[in-house]
Amino acid sequence: MRYQVAVIGGGPAGYTAAVAAAKAGMSVVLFERQSVGGVCLNEGCIPTKTLLYSAKTLDAARQAQKYGIGVDNVSADLVRIQARKQKVVRKLVLGIKSMLSAAGVQLVTGEAHIEGPNTVTCGGQTYEADNLLLCTGSQTVMPPLPGLDTVDCWTHREALQCTSAPQSLCIVGGGVIGMEFASFFCSLGTKVTVIEMAEEVLPGLDAELCALLRDGYARKGVDFLTGTRVTALRPMSDGGVEADYERQDGTGKLRAEKLLVCVGRRPVTQGWGLENLHLRLTDRGNIIVDRQLRTSQPNVYAVGDLNGVSMLAHTAVREAEVAVASMAGKDEYMSYRAIPSVVYTNPEIAGVGQTESALQKRGTAYRALKLPMTFSGRFVAENEGQTGLCKLLIGSDNRLLGAHVLGNPASEIITLAAMAMEAGLTVDQWKRVVFPHPTVGEIFREVLS
Ligand code: NAD
């Protein structure tokens, strides 16, 4: 069987590329060993956001009185919350399958193995392809913590499936996954402790906003041990876990019913014949790609988490589009200038572009403009008792270098700043855009005025 494009991996990158290539008139085969949608849809972005929405609804019901609404007997049923999550995932998986089939993509369920730059085998069949698009994603990193192999430990996968909230939870890694699960289990009444090696949670996002987010969760009862290393883990007789830790001011012990480890992900580069392509790799072992996502083999492209550049589903989708455009002979190039990051805590935190600390490290001149989110009337109307913060970083050319938001719905409004950045708008050009009133997005105009 011969195709113009063979796509390996059916996550957001893979299915986007497959549909785009098929719509461009190419013959496409897509290999997926599990369920289309990848980690994002089956055990990542979508299921977590579904759980977090239930938690947010619970928080809102508990706070309904602040808005003049009486709600009695508020409770959470984790079994039903999980059932709804499964329903959402099933619905979206079916949607992707029908989109692939409508576009005429040949979907092969099974583990693909690369034999060479034009040859893939799967289930005893051989498939030839003019172009290979590799998007096998990433897998959870398990750190070498002493005693980790002796304790019962959750990764995000088990945390996502849990049908009864533990009394107490120790989360190792205060990154994106750690903070989103801290938020979820805190809403459900679990006593959460986050152990983070760095000096602040969510390294990579604006440190001032992260500190405010952390303070907010600390007030809700989450304990944070930042600048802290786990030195030993051991099982307790009641099935829980005991952790020894050390930090600058000394050592300590922590006991919890459950342990969740989330210290990052790494590209999946082994077990599927990637070595047969002899691709050029970075010092860290990531596949080197050019701005069209082409590897050192001209007909082989690597997109999404696999190339290790950005490790976000939305980046993967755009990379997939660029790679397919390149196969079709178009002059499109990937831009990483304005890729938003969002953490779906409650409140959400989001950022795009540079942070102050990155600018300072590089010695780039900038001015920081910031306002509490309460300068947006809509924010005040809908976020009783919340303050939030919006920060814009402006370069010497009067263009946006970075935008950072703490407050709902940061995930939705950050795109406004990303568009201004990607389009290279000056502050004056951005201010001339008319924003609907009242919207939370108007905060950007307020900050600039
Ligand atoms: P991460 O890189 O976001 O965070 C890992 C955290 O663990 C970091 O803060 C790091 O300093 C800390 N850490 C590392 N080793 C440690 C140790 N031994 N002890 C204590 N802390 C330690 O990784 P993640 O949270 O596991 O998420 C994995 C990937 O999934 C990321 O690439 C992320 O972008 C993606 N993801 C994205 C979203 C989103 O966009 N909302 C949600 C979930 C996951």
Read off the pLDDT of residues 328-337 as tens digits, 9 standing for 90 and up: 999 999 999 9
- Which residue CA neighbors atom 41 of ligand 1 most closely? 343
Unique residue bearing structure tokens 């699960």: 181
Ligand 1 centroid distance, CA of 265 (Å) = 7
Those residues with Cβ within 8 angstroms of residue 257's Cβ, 6 or more apart along the chain or in another chain: 166, 167, 168, 169, 239, 240, 241
> Over 90: is that where the pLDDT of 279 sits?
yes
State percent of the chain over pLDDT 90.
99
* Rounded CA separation 34/268 (Å): 15
Nearest CA to ligand 1 atom 32: 311
**Tokens found for residue 290:** 């050019």
pLDDT at residue number 360: 98
Are the CB atoms for 405 and 349 separated by under 8 Å? yes
Ligand 1 binding pocket mutation candidate from 176, 184, 246, 346 (most atoms within 8 A of CB): 176
Distance 262 CA to ligand 1 centre (A): 6
CA 161 to chain CA centroid, nearest Å: 18
Atom of ligand 1 nearest to the CA of 344: 41
Cα 40 to Cα 47, 87, 271, 419, distances in angstroms = 8, 15, 21, 24
Distances in whole angstroms, Cα of residue 35 to Cα of each of 12, 96, 319: 12, 10, 21
Q: What is the pLDDT of residue 285?
A: 85
How many CA within 13 A on the CB side of residue 223? 15
**pLDDT tens per residue across span 239-260:** 999 999 999 999 999 999 999 9
Q: What's the 354 CA to ligand 1 centre distance in angstroms?
A: 19
The pTM is what?
0.97
pLDDT tens figures, 351-409: 999 999 999 999 999 999 999 999 999 999 999 999 999 999 999 999 999 999 999 99
Q: What is the mean pLDDT of residues 329-350?
A: 97
Q: pLDDT tens across 62-103, in order?
A: 999 999 999 999 999 999 999 999 999 999 999 999 999 999
Contact 127, 6 (CB under 8 A): yes
Residues with CB under 6 A from ligand 1: 143, 172-178, 180, 195-198, 203, 230, 262-265, 311-312, 342-344
Question: Of the candidates 405, 410, 444, 415, which has an alpha carbon nearest to the alpha carbon of residue 427?
Answer: 444
Distance 195 CA to ligand 1 centre (A): 12
Ligand 1 atom 2, closest CA: 264
Give the residue, by CA position, lying nearest to ligand 1 atom 40.
Answer: 342
55-91 in b/e form (b: 16+ CB < 10 A) is bbebbebeeeeeeeeeeeeeeeeeeebbeebeebbee
Say yes or no to pLDDT of 284 above 90.
no
